[in-house]
């Protein structure tokens, strides 16, 4: 990763109490090996089918982590409305910036956009459920 690049963690599948601890261990191991503190990083949820309170708790705990305090979430709808609805229901966008797409998140970071972006739309585009590429 070069200077100025933002780390992106692209997740796919379901993230609940059974597998969230594995993600947390991966992130903490990665950051422990890093020579410097990561200022900003992105969670890309484009291929995520489901998140639950364990996932939300992980993101909240990472905000307070000394290793990395600035997560951003991209494409909260994932493969359906459920993922984005869960994040909105618990108020995660009030704590962590949530962007409609990965490109929107990267562009906002490159121009120094406000920390909390406008609300994201939970309605699926064109009335259809998205599928993974």
21-25, 72-76, 83-87: which range is least confident on average?
A: 83-87
Which pTM was predicted?
A: 0.74
Taking alpha carbons only, the member of 117, 75, 66 closest to residue 95 is 117
Domains of the chain listed by start with CATH number: 8-120 (3.30.750.24)
Are 24 and 71 contacting, i.e. CB atoms less than 8 angstroms apart? no
- Nearest Cα residue to 132 out of 72, 44, 65: 44
* pLDDT tens column, 112-124: 665 665 566 655 5
Please answer whether residues 21 and 53 qualify as being in contact, where contact means their C-beta atoms are separated by less than 8 angstroms.
Answer: no
For residue 1, the model assigns a pLDDT of 43
Q: How does pLDDT run across 44-67, given as a tens digit for each residue? A: 999 998 888 899 998 888 877 766
- Of the two residues 75 and 120, the one the predictor is more confident about is 75
């Amino acid at each position: 990763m070069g200077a100025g690049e933002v780390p992106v963690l692209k997740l796919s599948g379901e993230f609940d109490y059974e597998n969230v601890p594995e993600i947390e261990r991966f992130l903490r191991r990665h950051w422990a090996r890093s020579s410097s503190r990561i200022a900003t990083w992105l969670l890309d949820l484009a291929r995520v089918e489901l998140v639950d309170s364990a996932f939300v708790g992980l993101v909240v705990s990472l905000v307070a982590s000394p290793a990395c305090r600035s997560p951003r979430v991209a494409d909260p709808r994932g493969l359906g409305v459920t993922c984005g609805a869960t994040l909105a229901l618990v108020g995660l966008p009030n704590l962590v910036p949530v962007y409609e797409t990965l490109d929107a998140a990267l562009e906002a970071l490159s121009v120094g956009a406000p920390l909390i972006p406008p609300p994201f739309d939970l309605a699926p585009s064109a009335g259809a459920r998205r599928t993974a590429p």
